[in-house]
Amino acid sequence: MGITGYIHSVESFGTLDGPGVRYVLFLQGCGLRCLYCHNPDTWNPSCGKAVDSEQVAADIVSYRNFIRTGGIAISGGEPFLQPEFVVDLLQRCRKNAIHTAVDTAGSVPLSISKPIIDAADMLLLDIKSLDEELCKRLTGQGPENTLATLDYCEQTKKRVWLRHVLVPGLTLDKALLEEMADYLRFFSCIELTELLPFHKMGEFKWKELNLQYELGETPAPSKEELQMVKRIFEKNSLRYLLKE
């Protein structure tokens, strides 16, 4: 018998969450309300499907040959909101030599998230904005917990792939990106920064849930804007991946 967790869905062969092919478990529940969220159906914690960590681990092990180039990724929602379940699952994967990545916005205090970070092989850490006001506007919360998470990863030499969404008129701003690049270059734990151009593929879900989607008029980033972002990251010798 393992620990009960609440999931939204499973993708057996994910290629978008961390290195290699991964079994991706999307957990239910998130405390943030990102304006550009493409999974608002994961927000409500009471809508999840209850699963047992022992059974999930057995299912993951049955895919071992298919995910040998990667491992698993625990995504969401926000995995840090179910620490007991996530730690137990990560430990079971480790016992079976399956590589683990946790995809998080780092939105809870370290007092809760440390055991998860310690048990994971790597984090996929989503930085929304370094700017307090903008971060609150984008997500409903400031960046302090995310930045403390990053500091802890640096301290413990945890491997990190960072993520940052480029939203025209919000985060896609030369001064903000220069500030971010300057901040990030001091972290040796960051192996790669994935820069994700804003898109509206999740807009229909907001409508289905009767939620107001504020970014309906926001365009996708232009080629020139993306070139500008590349120049900033290159100038700071940061390893990045821009998914155009």
**Site pattern 51..90 for ligand SF4 (x: CB under 6 A):** -------------------------xxx------------
Q: How far is the CB of 43 from ligand SF4 (least distance, A)?
A: 6
CA atoms of 55 and 136, how far apart (whole Å): 38
Q: Is 39 in the site for ligand SF4 (CB under 6 A)?
A: yes
Q: How far is the CB of 76 from ligand SF4 (least distance, A)?
A: 5
Query: In a 3-state reduction of DSSP, which class is residue 51?
Result: strand
The site that binds ligand SF4 (CB under 6 A) totals a number of residues, namely 11
Please name which of 175, 8, 13 lies closest in space to residue 77, comparing C-alpha atoms. 8
Give every CB contact of residue 95 below 8 A, 6+ residues apart in sequence.
none
Query: In a 3-state reduction of DSSP, which class is residue 223?
Result: helix
Q: Is 105 in the site for ligand SF4 (CB under 6 A)?
A: yes
Please name which of 95, 28, 30, 29 lies closest in space to residue 60, comparing C-alpha atoms. 95
Q: Residues 77, 28: contact at Cβ < 8 Å?
A: yes
Query: In a 3-state reduction of DSSP, which class is residue 32?
Result: coil
Stretch that binds ligand SF4, among 17-25, 30-38, 53-61, 234-242 (CB under 6 A): 30-38
Q: How far is the CB of 196 from ligand SF4 (least distance, A)?
A: 10
Beta-sheet strand order (sheet of 190-197): 49-52, 4-14, 22-27, 71-75, 100-104, 122-126, 159-166, 190-197, 240-242
**Does residue 2 have a cis bond before it (omega within 30 degrees)?**
no
Q: Which residues from 130-189 bind ligand SF4, rule CB under 6 A?
A: none
Q: How far is the CB of 173 from ligand SF4 (least distance, A)?
A: 19
Q: How far is the CB of 74 from ligand SF4 (least distance, A)?
A: 13
Stretch that binds ligand SF4, among 27-35, 111-119, 142-150, 172-180 (CB under 6 A): 27-35
Q: Which is nearer to ligand SF4, 108 or 190 (CB)?
A: 108
Q: Is 37 in the site for ligand SF4 (CB under 6 A)?
A: yes
Q: Residues 34, 81: contact at Cβ < 8 Å?
A: no
Strands 159-166 and 190-197: parallel
Q: Is 34 in the site for ligand SF4 (CB under 6 A)?
A: yes
Stretch that binds ligand SF4, among 33-41, 110-118, 144-152, 226-234 (CB under 6 A): 33-41
Q: How far is the CB of 107 from ligand SF4 (least distance, A)?
A: 6
Amino acid identity for residue 12 in this structure: S
Q: Is 33 in the site for ligand SF4 (CB under 6 A)?
A: yes
Q: Interface residues with ligand SF4 (CB under 6 A)?
A: 30, 32-34, 37, 39, 42, 76-78, 105
